[in-house]
A and B are shown apart, each in its own frame.
Chain A
Amino acid sequence: DTGVSQNPRHKITKRGQNVTFRCDPISEHNRLYWYRQTLGQGPEFLTYFQNEAQLEKSRLLSDRFSAERPKGSFSTLEIQRTEQGDSAMYLCASSLGLAGSYNEQFFGPGTRLTVL
């Protein structure tokens, strides 16, 4: 049984560079979510997909942030022109997404981004 996996686990980049993170959800899960978490805070919802459709993206932090899930399986989160304020843990989660389910999300280990 493989859970949610995220790569890379850590990323250090210089301000102004673009970064891309990958998330592989649990195989039978239809929904995939992205969150950002800063130290001592709860996760902050960014966006989510139902299969390949991005159903909510208004909470993406700026137009520098974008996410894709082209085949309804893995997803990528890209941050363009990174800023020091983007330094955080980026978490991915997945859930069954079936009618009657309760959005019980299973999280990956996260990608820790440090922008110098």
Chain B
Amino acid sequence: TQLLEQSPQFLSIQEGENLTVYCNSSSVFSSLQWYRQEPGEGPVLLVTVVTGGEVKKLKRLTFQFGDARKDSSLHITAAQPGDTGLYLCAGSTGNQFYFGTGTSLTVIP
């Protein structure tokens, strides 16, 4: 069962462009995390959002949690080659933990 669907699955953009990644579910989550993963390594936590409608900014990254706490988005402004990686959303319900399908981002210099 894939509780968290991410879109797009793949994204290739030029340096300096903006992008948005979406994480959608029919389930309500008490909190949702975003991670970034590089090849051959474990995911690295970027942010946690917990309140419906919450917006968090981390330098050029803006994270939003949907009002109903079922979806989230990640917006990157002026993407840089160092932003290249696999972006994952994750949430938990009860004793179950779910990761999204992932968005593979490539930023071309």
Whether the pair B42, A4 counts as a contact (CB closer than 8 A) is yes
A33 at the A/B interface (Cβ < 8 Å)?
A: yes
**Assembly CA distance A40 to B101 (angstroms):** 8
**In the complex, chain A residues whose CB is within 8 Å of the CB of B6:** 42
**In the complex, chain B residues whose CB is within 8 Å of the CB of A106:** 45
**Assembly CA distance A40 to B10 (angstroms):** 10
**In the complex, chain B residues whose CB is within 8 Å of the CB of A33:** 97
How many B residues, CB 8 Å from partner?
A: 26
**In the complex, chain B residues whose CB is within 8 Å of the CB of A41:** 101-102
Whether the pair A102, B31 counts as a contact (CB closer than 8 A) is yes
From A42, A102, A108, A112, give the contact of B99 (CB < 8 A): A42
Within the complex, the shortest CB–CB distance from B59 to chain A, in Å, comes to 19
**In the complex, chain B residues whose CB is within 8 Å of the CB of A44:** 99
Whether the pair A103, B92 counts as a contact (CB closer than 8 A) is yes
How many A residues, CB 8 Å from partner?
A: 25
- A103-B92, A107-B44, A108-B42 known; A45 and B98 CB under 8 Å? yes
From A43, A55, A102, give the contact of B48 (CB < 8 A): A102
Within the complex, the shortest CB–CB distance from A100 to chain B, in Å, comes to 10
Whether the pair A45, B31 counts as a contact (CB closer than 8 A) is no
From A43, A56, A109, give the contact of B88 (CB < 8 A): A43
Whether the pair B33, A43 counts as a contact (CB closer than 8 A) is no
Identify 17 new A-B residue pairs, CB closer than 8 A, beyond the known A45-B97, A104-B48, A110-B41. A40-B102, A42-B99, A42-B100, A42-B101, A43-B88, A43-B99, A44-B99, A45-B99, A48-B97, A56-B96, A93-B42, A102-B31, A102-B48, A104-B33, A105-B97, A108-B42, A109-B41
